[in-house]
Amino acid sequence: MKARYNVWIEAAEGGVVVSAWRARLLEAVERTGSISAAAEELKVPYRRAWEKLKEMETNFGQTLVETEVGGVHGGGARLTESARDLMDRFRKFEAGLADEIQSRYRRAFVR
């Protein structure tokens, strides 16, 4: 047996603001400069990635990704400062959870 967990942050009214998967999506957008490339990297349809980003923005109440359409260079996407701050805060929050959960698991289940 082993302990598993999934954690996310919700808005006060409900609705996911950020989760581990959504943070990876934001990181992929930042790294690739493209929602399409981020979706491909995470092996999800573009539409799903776009919908999750819009859902996050709605639940968070702030723009997280700024996009540029087409043009000579084909457009692109970049994270706002709010998105970077949200990602950083979530990663700090999440950082110690794995160790804490494993410690509690050992105390409860390992004899």
HEC assignment per residue over the chain? CCCCCCCEEECCCCCEEEEHHHHHHHHHHHHHCCHHHHHHHHCCCHHHHHHHHHHHHHHHCCCCEEEECCCCCCCEEEECHHHHHHHHHHHHHHHCHHHHHHHHHHHHHCC
3 in a structural domain:
no
The pLDDT confidence band at residue 59, using thresholds 50, 70 and 90, is very high
| Mean pLDDT, the chain, integer | 93
Predicted TM-score (pTM) above 0.95: no
1 in a structural domain:
no
pLDDT at site 109 = 93
**Where residue 101 sits, what CATH number does that domain have?**
1.10.10.10
pLDDT at site 2 = 82
Domain around 23: 8-109
53 in a structural domain:
yes
pLDDT at site 72 = 61
62 in a structural domain:
yes
89 in a structural domain:
yes
Residue 6: pLDDT above 90? yes
Total domains, the chain: 1
